Amino acid sequence: MKRHGRETEGPTSSHSSKSGGEGSEASPFLTQPEELRRFFHLSARETAAIESVSRVYPLKIPRYYASLFDRTATRCPLSRQAIPSLEELNSCSEADPLGERHISLTPILLRRYENRAVLLVSNTCAMFCRFCNRKRLFKEGFDPLPYLEESLGRIARERSLREVILSGGDPLMLDPDLFFEVLSRIKDIRHVAIVRVSSRVPVVFPEGLKDRHLRALRRQEPVWFVLHINHPKEVTREFKEAVRALRRSRCVLVSQTVLLRGVNDCPHILKDLFERLVVLAVKPYYLFHLDPVMGTEHFKVGIERGIEIMRILRATATGLAIPHYVVDIPGGLGKVPLEKHGIRARVGHRVHLESPIGGEGVYIDDAAESSCLRCGLCRGCGKGVKVKDGGQKAKKKGTAQRYEAKKMEVPMEISGEKAQDGGRNSYDLK
């Protein structure tokens, strides 16, 4: 990559040049199913299942994140996000339901809205999250470097672009020098007023946030930094230290969370998470309804359940902890809020959504039933009312009905002490 006649050389990732490579004893990542078997009580059948899925959607878990797993629990919310499941192969969804290929100005520059664009600067993540909306890239692989100059030039020519979002992969998996180079090049473009960095590194791999990354962010302040975080057990001592370091670098911190069945589809879990973030001066920004990406159906939560969760959050949590609950309309029609305005009507499982860029799209709301996650944060834990997540039935079969959120008694009493920092903080996976 050239800038002012110079070319950036060396590794594109600050984590890819470790001796032995990923999955070795020297690597901070677990990438082979047999490595998991060393640390977890996996049967031969479970190991074979992980191997089968990993051939389609690769395995990659930071040792740090794996150290937080509750190995005694049958349903650990962290391992569910990270360990491959056979359910990923039972898919009838699309590889690219948001139509990113159709909004590409270059192979790595996406523009859905007039005033902002997403630049996919990295081709790797610290962890392969099993619900990723770019899961297709696990299989396809892509190298952004050959397209960086073309993409930066296109941003410079498109004067209506006011905001650029650095994504990937994960921008913090870039070598810090290259990260600074990209960041400074974008900041040099006069009509780009806002730069957003979207990352899960501080959550799943906090050691990957290097001092040189922080210096780059500070030198280009202000930068909006979006933390991808899904569960209060991810709020560890190391995560808090990473957040403080980002604040010292004068980043403006917000978070985004994906609503995931069996992980966080509980108002008490999300209240705990969002209020912990607010205490750290991180504003919960988005709660995303799951994108219908192939291999992720087992994480799907019903829209009615999501609306109910938001209603309880508004009744019990500080206003600073309330995010926007949104869904990306399949077909590339943009984000729409799910609580009040975005839903026009529904016919059975078909929820008709009004696009912010014009037109109407349909989301298939056919999630399985949500049940109590036994979070231990509410008095009725384990006895909660189950909510049918297929949505309300139409009054007459085949006819549309206006959508109204189902009313439910708000549990105002939350008992029990808040858990301390989630999971173990020691690196006990050697």
Catalytic residue, chosen from 3, 18, 37, 116, is: 116
Residue ranges of domains in the chain, CATH in brackets? 29-88 (no CATH), 100-341 (3.20.20.70)
Q: Cβ(105)–Cβ(114) under 8 Å? A: no
Catalytic residue, chosen from 63, 112, 200, 261, is: 112
Give phi and psi for 112, each to the nearest 5.
Answer: -95, -35
Q: State the pairing for strand pair 163-167/194-199.
A: parallel
125 is catalytic: yes
Check residue 140 and give its pLDDT.
Answer: 59
The model's pTM is: 0.77
Check residue 109 and give its pLDDT.
Answer: 95
Check residue 112 and give its pLDDT.
Answer: 87
Distance, in Å, from the CA atom of 300 to the CA atom of 318, rounded to the nearest integer, reads 27
* Number of C-beta neighbours around residue 176 at 10 A: 17
132 is catalytic: yes
- Residue corresponding to tokens 């920092």: 421
Catalytic residue, chosen from 63, 111, 134, 261, is: 134
Check residue 391 and give its pLDDT.
Answer: 43
Strand partners, 174: 13
Distance, in Å, from the CA atom of 330 to the CA atom of 370, rounded to the nearest integer, reads 23
* Number of C-beta neighbours around residue 260 at 10 A: 23
Check residue 429 and give its pLDDT.
Answer: 37
Catalytic residue, chosen from 60, 111, 132, 266, is: 132
129 is catalytic: yes
Check residue 60 and give its pLDDT.
Answer: 95
Alpha helices, H only, 317-383: none
CB burial of 51-87 (b: ≥16 within 10 Å; e: otherwise) equals: eebbeebebbbbbbbbbbbeeeeeebbbbbbbbbbee
291 is catalytic: yes
Distance, in Å, from the CA atom of 294 to the CA atom of 413, rounded to the nearest integer, reads 39
Catalytic residue, chosen from 170, 265, 272, 328, is: 328
Q: Cβ(315)–Cβ(410) under 8 Å? A: yes
Catalytic residue, chosen from 18, 37, 96, 113, is: 113
Catalytic residue, chosen from 60, 65, 76, 129, is: 129
pLDDT in tens, the chain (430 residues): 443 333 333 445 556 434 345 555 578 999 998 888 777 778 888 889 999 999 988 999 999 999 999 887 678 999 999 999 999 888 766 666 665 666 789 999 999 889 999 999 998 999 999 998 877 666 656 789 999 999 999 999 999 999 999 998 999 999 999 999 999 999 999 999 999 999 999 999 999 999 999 999 999 999 999 999 999 999 999 999 999 999 999 999 999 999 999 999 999 999 999 999 999 999 999 999 998 888 899 999 999 999 999 999 999 999 999 999 999 887 667 788 887 655 666 667 777 776 655 667 777 777 777 777 777 776 666 554 444 444 444 333 443 444 333 333 333 333 333 344 444 333 333 3
Check residue 397 and give its pLDDT.
Answer: 40
Check residue 154 and give its pLDDT.
Answer: 98
116 is catalytic: yes
CB burial of 126-154 (b: ≥16 within 10 Å; e: otherwise) equals: bbbbbbbbbbbbbeeebebeebbeebbeb
Distance, in Å, from the CA atom of 62 to the CA atom of 54, rounded to the nearest integer, reads 16
Contacts of 311 (CB under 8 A, 6+ apart): 405, 408, 410
Check residue 289 and give its pLDDT.
Answer: 94
Check residue 139 and give its pLDDT.
Answer: 60
113 is catalytic: yes
The amino acid that residue 232 corresponds to is P
Read off the DSSP letter of residue 91: -
Catalytic residue, chosen from 76, 125, 266, 378, is: 125
